Structure 1
Amino acid sequence: MSILQAAYYHPDQVVHNDFYFEHFDRQGKDIRNFLAAMGRKNRYVADRAEENALTMGVKAAEKALKDAGLSGEDIDMFVFATQTPEYTYPTNALLLHNRLKGKHRAVTMDSNANCAGMVTAVEQSSRYMRSNPQVRYALIVGCDFSTVNCNPEDEITYANFGDAAAAVILERGGQGQGLIDSLYYTDSDIHESITFPACGLSNVYRADVRPEDIYIRWLPFDGTVCVDAAIEDIKELVSRNGLELDDICAFCLSQFSLKNIELIRNGLGQPEEKFIYVGDEFGYTATSSPFIAFQRGVEQGNIKRGDHLIFWSVGAGWQIPTMLLRY
């Protein structure tokens, strides 16, 4: 189930670190070292009056279809991975199907594994395609409209997130081998550290609920908590498939933290050029970030057909999927 085509979309508006420095300076918070550790410079921010997760996802999907020479009629399975759906019903995948003029004989499904969502959706879609020969093409879109849901008084989210979408078309057969293997690591002990809406969906209509109770709530915790597990899982996945780390041509990891990427790279003993980083330009785009990194690597010639790749991300709470794929 190979990757036929991938694409990404980002809004036009670029916001530089200086805006956030000044914003938090007025609150008595110096976030310069924090943004340096996260690896931020710019981020794309959607116009909340004009764009949302659905509209951005549609634009990424349209580009992927155009570049692949396909139309919505060709797609047998539509999957939309998001933790900020514009609607909970109908699904974003159903609306994507409508916008792209999909055929009646098609699967539509939304998926939410938080920031690990698109890696999980591609992995699970690949496995579903193996068991259903009627699916030749699957379109997986990942997009979170995060900036609108960030508390302006919280530097971890407000200064860190950006908005962008990614789309991947999986093809039965095709040029690449596609998914080789995957594994998951879940530790739910810190499940209360990141919550959205902070008050719980059942409480959003209460008269005493304040805006800050609805925004993303991010309680402080050690952001490097997932690094050791990531290193061990990547090693295990590579080893059990008869490969060496040197056989991996590129690592497309969560773009949440440059520091985490550096720690993982050092733990694996791999050169910096194998780790594609776009978080300085895009900010942290959550579920789409590993596949924006992937497509940037393709565009820049760092990823070529036949290359072995590692995809890795981490979802709130936390769960980490790791995927070995041959492009």
Structure 2
Amino acid sequence: MKLHHTYFYHPDFVENNTAVIEHFERQEISMQKIQNALGRAERFIVPENSFETTLSMGIEAARGVLKESNISILDIDIIIFVSSSPEHHIPCDAIQIHHALNGKPNTLCYDMNANCIGAFIALDQVSKYLKGTRSGTKALVVCAEKFSRILDPDNPITAFCLSDSAFAFIVENDGDNTSGLLDVLYHTDSSFCNTVLYPPKGNSRHDHGDLTTWDRIFDGMGSVNFALENIPLFLKRNQISLEQIDLFLFSQFSIRNINMIRDYFQLPEEKIPFYSKELGYTGASSPFLALDQYQKEVKSLKKGDYILIWTLGTGYQAGLMLWKY
């Protein structure tokens, strides 16, 4: 199983967070603590006068990964669209992507919304599906978010945290059973289910202009504790040591959370990429965007390298994944 082609698409407009921070500081809202926890400098935003949507960005990312990989859309057997802010509910946006790219008739298409852990779950599901089916060998996973249309500009956490963007990757069952998904572990604490909400009163009472409500009580610490408690046991059951992990792909939401895990296990900083400072937080795609940027800016992974993925989604749920490249 291979995860070997990735593509990042983003709007042209870059917002520097200096002005946003100064806006809150003038209201005597200290941003230093939030900035230290999240680690942000810039992010990509779809301007208000733009016609760009979650779907259009997803289509561009899909076209980009197919072009760069030299894989035809006719070779794609599954299209999964991952988003918390889809353009459509009916039909699913994966079908819209299939139509835009002229996909073949015998293609499975579906959307997934598991918030920021969505791409992680999609990789888990599609790896198992491809391994167990005779109906296909290649899957196209497309993640896209237009967060700027649903986030509250007056909330100091969401006002400068998230980027509008799209990301696509291809998963291929090449018949090599020595690579791919080795193990996965999930953790859910639904007591946080009302801390981040959109629409805030549900679709049955949705009003135009509704924005996401975000209670600062949700900071991801539960998922950090999950990682600290379970990484050793998770690796032990797979007979892998921390020293054998070649790359740690952690949720890019908070640099503080990453550093807590790094310091606890005394992990080498060069093995834990963080790109949200320059790119903003991209939601579900964030650990895989870190993989993309690491291979472009640092070095390419080689066959047999071990990857440990940790990420989380609001509500909340978290996961650990062991992948062999």
| TM-score relative to the length of structure 2 | 0.94
How many equivalent pairs are there? 321
Q: Which residue of 2 aligns with 1:199?
A: 201
For 1:270 and 1:324, the matched residues in 2 are separated by 16
1:137 to 2:138 alignment: yes
Q: Which residue of 2 aligns with 1:126?
A: 127
For 2:66 and 2:88, the matched residues in 1 are separated by 24
1:2 to 2:2 alignment: yes
Residue 313 of structure 1 deviates from its aligned partner by: 1.2
Q: Which residue of 2 aligns with 1:182?
A: 184
3-state DSSP class of the match of 2:320?
strand
Q: Which residue of 1 aligns with 2:250?
A: 253
Compare 120-129 and 169-178 and name the one that shifted more. 169-178
For 1:265 and 1:65, the matched residues in 2 are separated by 35
1:164 and 1:288 in contact (8 A); partners too: no
Residue deviations 1:195-222 (CA, integer Å, cap 9, x gap): 11112111014xxxx84xx211001215
For 2:229 and 2:138, the matched residues in 1 are separated by 33
For 2:115 and 2:245, the matched residues in 1 are separated by 26
Residue deviations 1:248-291 (CA, integer Å, cap 9, x gap): 11111111100000011112221111111001011111111111
The one-letter amino acid paired with 2:24 is: F
1:268 to 2:238 alignment: no
For 1:99 and 1:232, the matched residues in 2 are separated by 45
Counterpart of 1:309 (choices 290, 307, 310) is: 307
Where structure 1 has 5 or more consecutive residues not aligned to the other structure, the ranges are none
For 1:143 and 1:311, the matched residues in 2 are separated by 20
For 2:206 and 2:102, the matched residues in 1 are separated by 34
1:233 to 2:230 alignment: yes
Counterpart of 2:212 (choices 216, 220, 223) is: 216
Q: Which residue of 1 aligns with 2:13?
A: 13
3-state DSSP class of the match of 2:86?
coil
1:294-305 aligned at under 5 Å gives the runs 294-305=291-302
For 2:87 and 2:230, the matched residues in 1 are separated by 34
Compare 129-138 and 224-233 and name the one that shifted more. 224-233
CA RMSD of aligned residues (A): 1.6
Identity %: 34
Where structure 2 has 5 or more consecutive residues not aligned to the other structure, the ranges are none
The one-letter amino acid paired with 1:159 is: F
The one-letter amino acid paired with 1:204 is: H
2:11 and 2:165 in contact (8 A); partners too: yes
Q: Which residue of 1 aligns with 2:319?
A: 321
Residue 236 of structure 1 deviates from its aligned partner by: 2.5
For 1:303 and 1:188, the matched residues in 2 are separated by 38
Residue 22 of structure 1 deviates from its aligned partner by: 2.6
The one-letter amino acid paired with 2:110 is: M
1:35 and 1:160 in contact (8 A); partners too: no
For 1:8 and 1:154, the matched residues in 2 are separated by 27
For 1:179 and 1:46, the matched residues in 2 are separated by 35
1:182 and 1:321 in contact (8 A); partners too: yes
The one-letter amino acid paired with 2:23 is: H
Residue 27 of structure 1 deviates from its aligned partner by: 3.4
2:8 and 2:168 in contact (8 A); partners too: yes
Residue 13 of structure 1 deviates from its aligned partner by: 1.0
Residues 1:326 and 1:62: Cα distance change in structure 2 (over 3 Å): same
